[in-house]
Amino acid sequence: MAVGCGDDLVAPGNDEVGDGSSDTASPDESETETETETGTESETEGDTDTGPELPVPGELRWHLALPGTARCLAAWDGGLLVGGSFAQTLIVPNGTFEAVTEDGMLLQVDYGGEVVWGQGYGGEAADRFDGLTVAGERVVAAASYAYGTTNYGGEVLPPATDLFGRNLALVGLRAPAPGEALVHDWSLGFDGLFAFRHLAMAGDGRVSYAGRLESGLAFEGFELPPPAHGVGINIRTELDGSEPPQASVSEVLSYGEAVELGIASFTIFAEDPGGAGLYLTGVYEGSIDLGGEGLSAEDWGNFLARFDAEGELEWVRSLGGAFVSDGELSPEGDLLLVGGFLGAFEFGAEVLSAGTGSFDGYVLRVTPSGDASLELMVTGPNVESIEHLALAPNGDLGVSGWGKVGIDLGAGVVPADHGNYDAFIARYDGDGELLWGHVLGSSSADSVEGSEFGADGHLYTLLRAPKPLDLDPEGGGAVVEGAVLLSHE
C-alpha cells in the first residue's frame, strides 16, 4: 500500500518524539480517547467498536539524537548497535568516558529509543568504528586508528608504520544480554590497511574482511610485498576452541594487481551459511586479474565475483559503470546489491536496463550461479543512489540513500531541493512495490549511514544532517541536527 504520491508520498512527520519517546498514547489517554470515540459512534451508528487505531505504515515512531559521530548500525535480538567516534566526553547510562584525541564509540539502543549502554574505546591514536556485523551474540567491528597505539579491550595494538599512518583493526565482542556491557574476546591489528564498512561473519564466528592494500602487509606468517598501485585483499579469520575464543588469520588472499594507474578496492557483503561461498565486489582502473579471469575497462570498472570455500574463483561478472554500495544475502540464498549507475546497466554480457539518462539507484538480485535481475530502481532528473539495504523477515526491503533536485521512489517525483543532497528512506514489498517513502533534507548535504530491520519488524535508519533538518517535509516537525536514529512503522 503506497502512501500517496508526489509530495504526499512522504508521510507526516512527528514533532513529539524529540526525547526518543514513542507516539503511542499512555493507557489512560487511550482509554479516554476510545470511550469518547465509541460514545460518538453509538449515538450515530449504534454500538460499533472500531477497536484501537492502527499505526500508519511509514509513520515516524521516534527519533533519537546520538552523541559523537555515528558511522555504522547493526541490529540484534536485544536492540540496535551504533558505532562511530567521539571527541572529548561521552556520557552514557553506565558511565562517562574521556577521549584522548578521538576515540571509538559503541552504543546499545533498545527498540524503544533509549540508549541503555555505551563505551569509549582507544588509546593514544585517533580511533573510530567504521563497520559492524552481528551473528547471534557475537559482534565483530571494523575499526581504524591512526598515528599511535590503541586498545579495544585486550592487548595494545601497535601504531601504523606506513606513510598513510592508518591501521585496520578487527575487534571481536559478545553481547550477553540487552543493556549489559559488550565483552571483548579478541582484537587483530593490520598495518597499512584502510578500514571499510563491510565485513561478513559466518554462523560459527569466522570473519571475512576485504579492502585495499596500499603498502606491504606482514601478519603472523602472512607477508605481501608493497604493491605498485594498490591491490584488493581479502582477509579470512578463524576462531579456536578456547573460551573466550581467540581469532587468528587463516588466509590472506590477493587477487592480482591493477595495472597502469589502477587501484583495486574490494568490498565483501555476504558469505553463504557454513562458508560455502563468498561474494566480493570491487572497483579498478585499467585491468585486473581475478584468479585467472581478467577484466579490463577504458576508465573505471566494477565487478562482482563469487569464490568457493577455498577461495577459488567460481565466476565473475563485469558491472560496467554500476557502483555497489551495500548488499545482503536473502533467505533464498540470493545476493541483493544496491548502488547507483549511469547509462546502461550491464551485468556481464547482459544489459539489464538502458537507464534514464541520469544517475539512478538500483536493487539487483543475483543467484549463486551468477544470473541477475533488477528488482527496482530509484530515479529522478538529476542523481540518485541507494546506499543501504535491509531485509525484513517477511521479505520486505528497506532502502535508504540520497538524491538531488527530485527523487522518484516509485510513486512520482518528490522534490529534493532543500539544499545540496537530500536523504531518502523507503520500504518495498518482496515484489519491489513501494509501501511508503520519505525524502528529508537540510540546507546542506544529508546522508544515511545505515538501515536495519529490528527483531520487532520496524525499520531503523541512521541519518546524518550537517544542518538543522525538519523531520516533517511539510514543516512544523521536530528539528534535528547531527547524527539521528529514526524508527518507522
Are 171 and 143 contacting, i.e. CB atoms less than 8 angstroms apart?
yes
CA distance 173 to 179: 14
Q: What is the mean pLDDT of the chain?
A: 79
Mean pLDDT is lowest, of 63-67, 137-141, 299-303, for 299-303
Arithmetic mean of pLDDT, 174-199: 81
Q: Is the pLDDT of residue 467 over 80?
A: yes
CA distance 429 to 392: 9
What pLDDT band is residue 468 in, cutting at 50, 70 and 90? very high
Q: Is the pLDDT of residue 85 over 70?
A: yes
Coil vs helix vs strand at 309: coil
Q: Which of 209, 128, 134, 142 is nearest to 174 (CA)?
A: 134
pLDDT in tens, 235-284: 778 888 788 888 888 777 765 554 443 445 556 666 665 556 778 888 77
CA distance 368 to 351: 19
At 236 the pLDDT is 75
Q: Which of 225, 291, 217 is nearest to 249 (CA)?
A: 217
Task: Determine the number of helices (DSSP H) and then strands (DSSP E) in the chain.
Answer: 1, 33
Mean pLDDT is lowest, of 218-222, 233-237, 407-411, for 218-222
At 184 the pLDDT is 93
pLDDT in tens, 360-372: 999 999 998 999 9
Strands 199-201 and 183-191: unpaired
